[in-house]
Amino acid sequence: MNSIVYVETSVISYLTGRPSRDVVTAAYQEITREWWKSAPSRFSLVTSELVVAEAASGNSDAALARLAVLDTIPLLDVTEEAIELNRKLIDLRAVPHKAADDAMHIATAAANGVDYLVTWNFRHIANATMRSRIEEVCRSSGYEPPVICTPNELIQTDHTSSPGIITQATRTDPIIDELRAVREEHLARFGYDLDAIFQDIRARQETSGREYLRRPAREVVPVSADPSTR
């Protein structure tokens, strides 16, 4: 059985975006497209209504390209369990309140037993300084967290010619900047009210006409104190 991979919005943005002249952005785009060549056959890809909503924002032509890809990927149900885990990630400061949408991606993936969450979001998702706290909150809530990674880390080992991963740090990236603006606008539109945001997501699911998968969470794996036994 293929591993289940939750595809976050930034991956779709790099996959479908016009080739960039920025060397780092271009590298991310090339890595993403290289990964995507085999990803549908190697993994069971899933996403969520929140990704669809984010992808539909911004430039209309770019949005159409993103939505065309997402139309082929099954959507996970944003369950009450996912919403509650989202609250805990924020309340326990694993993810900042201003990044509630980022937390929702993590919570949806964890509550649905996803194996990997693939993203290019280094600020609040694929962030080494935050990852241990995210995993701790997920496990203490009864959910084994997905492995948070980039497409580069899921490329087959025989693809050795793929560009190495370049950390984003504080550099400017138009694709990520656009996505951050979309998320900021989305949160501000609801006054950063989590209840209102969740109600909107559920309403979108009820009227979209698409089916939503509801998967069991994975059993929590105890973390050994001895790194050699992990």
Q: What is the pLDDT of residues 41-50, one digit of tens each?
A: 999 999 999 9
Domain 3-156+168-211 grouped into CATH 3.40.50.1010: yes
The amino acid that residue 59 corresponds to is N
Please give the Cα distance from 117 to 114 (Å, whole number): 7
Q: pLDDT, tens digit, for every residue of 125-152?
A: 888 888 999 999 999 999 999 999 999 9
- Residue owning tokens 């580069």: 152
Pairing type for strands 116-118 and 75-76 reads unpaired
CB-facing half-sphere around the CA of 95: CA atoms within 13 A = 28
State the burial class of residue 130 (Cβ atoms within 10 Å of its Cβ: 0-12, 13-18, 19+).
buried
pLDDT tens profile 95-136:
999 889 999 999 999 999 999 999 998 887 888 888 999 999
Q: Which residues contact 31 (CB under 8 A, 6 or more apart)?
A: 150, 151, 152, 155, 162, 163, 165
Please report the pLDDT score of residue 17 as a whole number.
93
Cα distance between residue 71 and residue 10, in whole Å:
16
Structure tokens at 25: 């952005």
pLDDT at 224: 58
Indicate the average pLDDT of the chain: 87
Cα–Cα distance between 109 and 78 in angstroms, integer? 9
Amino acid at 226: D
